[in-house]
Structure 1
Amino acid sequence: MSAPAKVSGGVTGPSRARISARTLRTDRWWLTPLLTTLGLATFVVYASIRSWVRTAYWVDQYHYLTPFYSPCLSDSCVPGSSHFGTPIGELPMWIPLGFLVLPFLLGFRITCYYYRKAYYRSVWLAPAACAVAEPHARYTGETRLPLILQNSHRYFFYAALIVSLINTYDAIAAFHGESGGFGFGLGNVILLVNVILLWAYTLSCHSCRHITGGRLKHFSAHPVRYRLWTLVGRLNTRHMQLAWTTLATLMITDFYIMLVASGTISDLRFID
């Protein structure tokens, strides 16, 4: 009996059907990857511009600080915006003021299991949709550079927890009136909604689910961790929705603070 023939990877392998068309689908299969690409590109462009402009990111009257500049630890930060001091000196214009945490947040999002699926399919077209031939002849998996770095997701998760705590502090510190003391306005509502959703997205992470109960063999022996695992599991079912929602709330929060800080609009105050 002869040995089985080796099958090369990809849809062009010798054992695959010879179909010249990329797909026989007649529906608009390309719409989902197109919208995904546009959505991701919109956030990347907006966040990049806002992270480098260094204007309208702090409202001194109400202590509103945009998440894209938190924490602001440089002498280049405007007075009052440095909640944790300024241990770093002046920064050149090509370095964002939030440079300390932005790489970790970017790493957390890029290595996120959902975002991998999103940009693998929409940007790399691997595959773009079911029954649509991808343009790649072979697939090596996440075992070589650069994709082997995807395995660092659990470490970025720990960094994201710290950043979420910082964002929470910023949201609490923003309860500040124009004349001092307690104050509450529309900006506070936006900051609170944003930080709550950021916590929900972070805790719905697959790494968080694995940490809370992924290695347990007997849930009955660990009732507390089993309860945590159950709660995280419920959040995990909404991980995709939270991934997109938090991109939107980050932009909305920053855009609102930019409008107030620049004097374009006035903050709607409920208590001042």
Structure 2
Amino acid sequence: MVAALSGCAAGLSPTTAVEQTVDGITAPDIDSGDVVIDISVDQQAVEPVAAGQWPSQQGGYVFSTEPQTGAEQWIFDTYPQLWADGVRALSTEVTTLDTENNEVPARLVQYYNGTKYEGTTESPLGLNMAGQDPEKWDSSMSDASARGERVPDKWGLGYYVVSIASKTGNITLSNNRSEDREIPVRYTIRVAYRGADGNIDGPYNGDGTTKFDSVQDALGFLKKNGVKTKDGRKLAVGEIGAVMAYAASDPGSFTFINPNTWQAY
């Protein structure tokens, strides 16, 4: 299904570089045989620590449903829903919006069913909904936008949008004159994290030279290699809010792509 950009598709404009709860949520289970080890972080800390210094980012860390240090106690006290979701490290530099439209730190480490998911300051985790399974794609954003409806409020911000697009521009003629015309430029992939202060946007895997002859070639590449942020982190499918392939003939129109199958809607 092809959709034109409109105010109904809230939050799904192209990235600039392309030119153009809750009660009842339980913390992840842990093996009863796990032994919680002592992490050398100030036990009296009452504020967040810098990226890379959270206990969960240190070697030998073992997940616990109870705060193990002052830094974790801060998450527990300040952001109880994030703690319940298994979040054990937050960004002190990047913020996002939760489903209540509150500005909150972006997630850097989160546990789900015993599996650890790690982001970076350049590519925070795109998991912003309570109880969200990182390995399952929630299609509600794309479904609503494809129908021209408002994106469900549960999304907030803090997810990734993948764009596949070509572009138009100037070419220089042999007599050194420049002329505006549509150029058959090859397709590129860009990956953008939607944060409270704007997008963290970049080319696939940080390599702006990766280009494709067609949208289908780009989709085949993504199916084989997965989605990678500009710092090379491979996204779990649950971190993706939407994938959009823009029409070369009309940069204002796009087709939604299902990242489970890499087929158009």
TM-score by length of structure 1 reads 0.21
Q: Which fold has the larger relative contact order, with Cα–Cα distance below 8 Å and residues 6 or more apart in sequence?
A: 1
Q: Work out which of the two has the higher radius of gyration on C-alpha atoms and give 1 or 2.
A: 1
- Give the number of the structure whose residues are more often strand, by fraction: 2
TM-score scaled to structure 2, two decimals?
0.22
